[in-house]
Amino acid sequence: MVRKSEGSAAPLAVRRRPERPDDVIGQEKIWGPDSPLWALVKADRFTSLLLWGPPGTGKTSLAQVIARASERDVALMSAVQHGVKEIRAQISRSEGLLAIGDKALLIFMDEIHRLNKAQQDILLPALEAGTIKFIGATTENPSFTVNNAILSRTLVFKLESLAVKDLERILVGALQGADSNLPRTDVGTDVIQAIAKAADGDARRALNLLEAVICAAPKDQGAITIESLAAVAPTLNIRYDRDADSHYDLVSAMIKSIRASQPDAAVYYMARMLAGGEDPMFIARRLVIAASEDIGNANPTAQLLAVSCMQAVHAIGMPEARIMLAQAATYLAASPKSNKAYVAINQALVDVEATGALEIPMHLRNAPTKLMREFGYGVGYVYAHDDPSGAQRLGYLPRELAHKSYYEPINSGVEAQLKANLERMKAAGRPATKT
């Protein structure tokens, strides 16, 4: 069975792992009395689970809670430390338990994405035969890092970064818990809030920071203050992290500067965010959005550059990521602007909401069978590559919306060329004028 670490030498994040289902804080979307996952665990009806989420979101803790609830022997493994030999040994152990009428062993594999294909394949026969129960944990997208054969036999649950309010509850619980083994001291609400915001959704980071600031404080210090926190973690801009409005004000200022073609202001507000400890991936994602919303088809290359920037930031990290972010922001700010794609989809969504599922014109419908063609599906369709003019004369919107025009390109950058091309195509589809 899984046992909670009793040693005070273990990090606070380990000492405060939840033991019971009700101890789990956050992840309400997947864990709770009415959740499908809890129902499966309570009924002991799962074979293989995969917990996917960012660091510090409770994957290992939730797996250990599930293990206790299942009331069976558990093997805690890590792909960093264990390979084929150890996996086979645990499968054999489970076979031995089943042979004497006991429950199958539950294998928990942390960082399963670090197992290569051959190592993952070792699990397949045991999963297929029900020889083991299995829980895997990963920070990487399992679609790319876990074998399809494993995925097809596994229920995947995605854990989200913890909300600030959840981190505050975890920190307060650690201060009040008898098993925390923390020196008795007064930690103000402002410090709790600052740590929770600085932790960026990571409970492990929050608890480690709390433990560090308490243990580093002089014994004669009356209370832990924001200054105490800043002394332990000088790279954190506490003022920025404490002020939730600042988070949104700065990113808003950066985006609006890009929209107004002000590269100097854009990089200034970006620098403010980076100096304040903002996640560079948050900034990169906002640049990708701006590339489509504000630059759009006036310069389609902006979207490619923004996505490339986001991938580079993810791969390289800080401090070098600041260079990619600055390049993307200045390029977006200096690019011609168009929000016409953004306007088009918003107007179309308004009409969809107002009119519901209108009938698709028959000539546009898929007609894979003779019977469907007999009912008029696909009849009258003109293949645009063979007859561009004829294709233009067809109607493409539902009859009730035939008069609508959602995308109205402007004479800006590349979009001017798109506008001219659309006008040529429309002209080609008009009937010839009689003379």
Rounded Cα distance, 419 and 409, in Å = 5
Contact 172, 192 (CB under 8 A): yes
Q: Is the per-residue pLDDT at 350 higher than 90?
A: yes
On whether the 342-429 domain is CATH 2.40.37.20, my answer is no
Task: Write the CB contacts of 427 (distance below 8 Å, at least 6 apart in sequence).
Answer: none
On whether the 12-158 domain is CATH 3.40.50.300, my answer is yes
Interval 99-112 mean pLDDT = 93
- Looking at the DSSP bridge assignments, the partners of residue 76 are 108
Rounded Cα distance, 96 and 272, in Å = 60
Q: Which helix (DSSP H) or strand (DSSP E) does residue 75 occupy?
A: strand 74-78
Interval 320-336 mean pLDDT = 96
Q: How far is CA 35 from its chain centroid?
A: 21
DSSP string, 124-139: HHHHHHT--EEEEEES
Rounded Cα distance, 120 and 105, in Å = 17
Task: Write the CB contacts of 205 (distance below 8 Å, at least 6 apart in sequence).
Answer: 55, 56, 199
pLDDT tens digit sequence for 126-176: 999 999 999 999 988 888 889 999 999 999 999 988 999 999 999 999 888
Topology (CATH level 3) of domain 243-334: Zinc Finger, Delta Prime; domain 3 (1.20.272)
- The percentage of the chain sitting over the pLDDT mark of 70, rounded to a whole number, equals 92
Helices (H) and strands (E) in the chain, counts: 22, 7
pLDDT band at 2 (very low <50, low <70, confident <90, very high): very low
Task: Write the CB contacts of 418 (distance below 8 Å, at least 6 apart in sequence).
Answer: 297, 409
Identical fold for domains 164-235 and 342-429, yes or no, is no
Report the candidate in 334, 346, 343, 283 with the shortest Cα–Cα distance to residue 309.
283
Rounded Cα distance, 137 and 216, in Å = 33
pLDDT tens digit sequence for 297-312: 999 999 999 999 999 9
Token output for 358: 């209108």
CATH class given for the domain over 164-235: mainly alpha
Q: For the chain, what are the domain ranges?
A: 12-158, 164-235, 243-334, 342-429
CA distances from 206 to 187, 198, 216 (A): 14, 8, 15
Q: Is the peptide bond before 234 cis (omega within 30 degrees of 0)?
A: no
Give the single-character DSSP code of 295.
I
Rounded Cα distance, 293 and 130, in Å = 50
pLDDT value for 235: 56
* Pairwise pLDDT comparison (36 vs 222), residue with the higher score: 36
Contact 133, 106 (CB under 8 A): yes
When the pLDDT of each residue in the chain is averaged and rounded to a whole number, the result is: 87
Q: Supply φ then ψ for residue 239, to 5 degrees.
A: -60, -45
pLDDT band at 125 (very low <50, low <70, confident <90, very high): very high
Interval 228-243 mean pLDDT = 60
Q: Amino acid letter at 384?
A: A
130: number of CA atoms within 13 Å, CB side? 5
Rounded Cα distance, 24 and 21, in Å = 6
Contact 73, 179 (CB under 8 A): no
pLDDT value for 109: 94
